[in-house]
Amino acid sequence: MTEKEKQQAGELYNGNDPELVAERVTAKKLCAEYNAATYNDYQKKNRLLDRLLTFRGENTWIEANFFCDYGYNIIIGDNFYANHNLVILDCAEVTFGDNVFIGPNCGFYTAGHPIDVEQRNSGLEYAKPIKIGSNVWIGGNVCVMPGVTIGDNVVIGGGSVVVKDIPSDTVAVGNPCKVVRKITEADKKK
């Protein structure tokens, strides 16, 4: 089994494998080109996203600066907006539903390292997928950690560190991020 196959299977793998390094270099170059593009050169930015991402729906906009590891593990639905300094460490799949809005300085981190010092120091790492539902608003400076699923119709408060799944129709905030309340009919009138 190759290191990439181990990575995609969720097993421990060596991130310094030449195939994985080459793929990261390709993605980093595309990110750099995207970030350097003139702000309103929409055609160029869209072409670069099409080369970088597995899939993106209609109306995708990512403010510069944007960074990812591979790109091919990122799937974005319709009506996606990410403010400045989005980081997606997509060693495993990261999926965003429709109508997702992300504040500035947010990170989605599928990569993790073993607690065991010998494994960690040997260069081994793991990756667990992240899934973000539809109609989700993520405030600024939020970190979403490996293996987390955020349901539909969720608001994540700014500065949160999301280490566990968040159910649909809730507002969650904090470090660690916790549900503080359900979204109600009264919220629709504000």
* Confidence category of residue 190, pLDDT binned at 50, 70, 90: low
Instruction: Render pLDDT for 109-149 as a digit per residue (tens, 0 to 9).
Output: 999 999 999 999 999 999 999 999 999 999 999 999 999 99
Dump strand ranges (E) for the chain. Answer: 13-14, 55-56, 60-62, 66-68, 74-76, 80-82, 86-89, 94-96, 100-102, 107-109, 111-112, 124-127, 130-132, 136-138, 143-144, 149-150, 155-156, 161-162, 170-174, 177-182
Catalytic annotation present for 113: yes
Instruction: Report the C-alpha gap between 158 and 138 in whole angstroms.
Output: 7
Task: Quickly count: other Cβ atoms within 10 Å of residue 171's Cβ.
Answer: 18
Q: Token pair for residue 117?
A: 């010092």
Instruction: Report the C-alpha gap between 119 and 41 in whole angstroms.
Output: 45
Tell me the HSE value of 119 on the side-chain side, using a 13 A CA sphere.
11
pLDDT at position 32: 98
Q: Which of 113, 128, 131, 178 is an active site residue?
A: 113
* Confidence category of residue 100, pLDDT binned at 50, 70, 90: very high
Instruction: Render pLDDT for 9-28 as a digit per residue (tens, 0 to 9).
Output: 999 999 999 999 999 999 99
Instruction: Render pLDDT for 48-57 as a digit per residue (tens, 0 to 9).
Output: 999 999 999 9
Instruction: Render pLDDT for 141-184 as a digit per residue (tens, 0 to 9).
Output: 999 999 999 999 999 999 999 999 999 999 999 999 999 999 99
Please determine, for residue 185, whether its predicted confidence score (pLDDT) is greater than 90.
no
Instruction: Report the C-alpha gap between 6 and 9 in whole angstroms.
Output: 5
- Is the pTM value of this prediction over 0.85? yes
pLDDT at position 78: 98
Residue 69's contacts (CB-CB under 8 Å, 6 or more residues apart) are 24, 27, 88, 89, 90, 91, 111
pLDDT at position 115: 94
Hey, what domains does the chain have and what are their CATH numbers?
A: 3-189 (2.160.10.10)
Q: What is the CA radius of gyration of the chain?
A: 17
